[in-house]
Structure 1
């Protein structure tokens, strides 16, 4: 999938100490990309907007797992 033009931002829940960080690009129509900040070339998860919104809602409701 073409990620040209993706504008990545770090999760607001990611710390500034270089720990577990996630970046999200949700500026392209019809797709949301997610990647690991520490391993940007290690792969990207791709979600549809509705699936991503559902995931975010669940995380806000139940908190992170781990």
Structure 2
């Protein structure tokens, strides 16, 4: 599957100089990248996966430690 042409990247409100995350949407998919490496890899989610991912962060079931 080809990577969609993500444009119009938005930096997270929770990002700082040490850890910047950007998101964009294209072709019904959500892309996430490190703003310090815009040419680097993009983590891609469909709408269902994105909803589950953000819910896991919000409710604490998905943490950096585990």
Q: Which runs of 5+ in 1 are unaligned?
A: none
1:32-55 CA distance string (max 9 Å, x none): 011001111111111101101110
Q: TM-score, normalised by structure 2?
A: 0.79
Q: Which has the higher strand share?
A: 2
SS in 2 for 1:38: coil
- Aligned match of 2:48: 50
Q: Which runs of 5+ in 2 are unaligned?
A: none
Q: Which has the higher helix share?
A: 1
Q: TM-score, normalised by structure 1?
A: 0.79
CA RMSD of aligned residues (A): 1.7
- Aligned match of 2:35: 37
